[in-house]
Amino acid sequence: MKYLISVALGLMCSFFYAQEIDIEVFATGLNNPVSIKYAGDSRLFVVDRDGLIQIVNSNGSKNSTPFLNINSIVIDGGGERGLLGLAFHPNYNSNGYFYVNYINNSGDTVISRFTRSSTDPDLTDQNSELQLLSYAQPFANHNGGDMEFGPDGYLYIASGDGGSAGDPGNRAQSLTTLLGKLLRIDVDGNSNGNYGIPADNPYAGSTSAMEEIWAYGLRNPWRFSFDRSTGDLWIADVGQNAIEEINMVASTVGGVNYGWRCYEGNSPFNLSGCPTSDAFTFPIAQYTHTGSGAFKCSITGGYRYRGTAQPSLLGLYFFADFCSDEIGILEQSGANWNMTFTPAFTGNGWTTFGEDINGELYIAGIDSDTVYKIIDSNLSVDENAAFEVKLFPNPAQSQITLDLIDSTIIVQSINIYSVQGKLMISNSDISSQLITLSTKGLTSGVYFVEIINNEGFRVIKKLIKH
């Protein structure tokens, strides 16, 4: 069952109209989701950090059997390791190739290709792994892991700086290591064994730099994306002590130095041995851990909305923070970008966004194990409700009353959900126009009341419990 959670974006720093968004529960029962991708049809493929890829169908149901299960070769223990990335070949429908990024049992990064089953499109040939690339990870954190095929058909791979704190090996600035980089390879070539180096890579043919490097100076790029309308590349890079940053450049521009460890965001971090500031490309937006409302700690990058179902969201870039559980939005205003945050959706631990085939956006959390769909609240079911309901008192203490207004309406059920999507109260014994429910068992906070009539129409009401 799908239901809506409505919030209004607050103001931050500069004037910005309060865009209302909803998140709609799309799928539950996932486990440690860290990536969401699609493969040319209506299905979503949700990456489980423990080494599984689950298929979620267009109705929100999850297949009982995983699409891929490589748990035995993926390191356990959680944190920033495990199965981290997924990308489908541009010709996946015909060749069945897809690519994964995982940390193996030795603690190193592996980029591999797998092939879809020849008999079942919902399964993988488990024996089809072809390793393309691997590199050592000196520490357990900062592995990056995201992958996307760019508009040029090449595979882009995000790698962290190798971990610890402060990039002690200055790996992000070094061109002799793949760590702290955005890599770009030709999966259909073979000049480097099982992949090729695009001829226009910045260091193609070099003997003093790694040829796979497309961009560098990254700390822990936690999710990047390509704008499906403009091709622009968006990278969210997790900060060290105080600053989370969002970078955006044209996808055709290679050799970009994003600044880490010399800079954290726009601020100097460790300038020892660094070039002058004009050598770097600085973020288009950033936020601090303590200066923007609720405490924040780690950015999760997303997508610029290019779907059609939510026209008022067109062109907005969505991101989130893992610690604050807020969803952030960037809106372009001339040469500037205005940033706002929603109130916290506590208990989610946002780890990934995803697009479907139509450009609609999804978000998932590693704490709630739930995939939500992002929508415009002005298009929610409340706007076109088939019946009217009044709820009082609101805020409530020990009970609430619902007035159906129209005595001919027959209510099938009333459900109360927490903001994490957990069902708290359900009542299907309804026989009058005025319905009273006890709320004594609810702790203080925000809840959502779903009223469903006998024709399947629903109304959502926001409830505050004191």
Q: What is the pLDDT of residues 252-280, one digit of tens each?
A: 999 999 999 999 999 999 999 999 999 99
Q: Are residues 369 and 394 in the same domain?
A: no
Q: How far apart are CA 3 and CA 380, in angstroms?
A: 10
Q: Are residues 354 and 449 in the same domain?
A: no
Nearest Cα to Cα of residue 89 among 70, 113, 124: 113
pLDDT at 386: 59
Q: Are residues 405 and 330 in the same domain?
A: no
Q: Are residues 107 and 66 in the same domain?
A: yes
Q: How far apart are CA 403 and CA 389, in angstroms?
A: 6
pLDDT at 99: 99
pLDDT at 22: 78
Q: Are residues 171 and 200 in the same domain?
A: yes
Q: How far apart are CA 264 and CA 282, in angstroms?
A: 9
Among residues 380, 400, 415, which one ends one of the domains? 380
Distance of CA 439 to the CA centre of its chain: 34
Q: Are residues 149 and 279 in the same domain?
A: yes
pLDDT at 225: 98
Q: Report the CATH number at residue 398.
A: 2.60.40.3080
pLDDT at 462: 79
Q: Are residues 341 and 421 in the same domain?
A: no
Give the domain range for residue 404: 385-465
Q: Are residues 375 and 450 in the same domain?
A: no
Inform me whether the pLDDT recorded for 385 exceeds 70.
no
Per-residue pLDDT band at 456 (split at 50, 70, 90): confident
Number of independent structural domains in the chain: 2
Q: Are residues 222 and 319 in the same domain?
A: yes
Question: In sequence order, what are the residues at sequence separation of 6 or more whose Cβ sits closer than 8 angstroms to the Cβ of residue 181?
Answer: 159, 172, 210, 212, 213, 214, 215, 216, 218
Q: Report the CATH number at residue 214.
A: 2.120.10.30
pLDDT digits (tens, 9 = 90+) for 206-259: 999 999 999 999 999 999 999 999 999 999 999 998 999 999 999 999 999 999
Report residue 75: phi and psi, to 5°. -65, 135
Q: Are residues 126 and 223 in the same domain?
A: yes
Among residues 363, 380, 397, which one ends one of the domains? 380
pTM score: 0.81
Q: Are residues 249 and 109 in the same domain?
A: yes
pLDDT at 191: 92
Inform me whether the pLDDT recorded for 284 exceeds 70.
yes
pLDDT at 420: 62
Among residues 380, 400, 435, which one ends one of the domains? 380
Choose the weakest-confidence range: 163-167, 220-224, 394-398.
Answer: 394-398
pLDDT digits (tens, 9 = 90+) for 92-126: 999 999 999 999 999 999 999 999 999 999 999 99
Q: Are residues 283 and 398 in the same domain?
A: no
Inform me whether the pLDDT recorded for 445 exceeds 90.
no
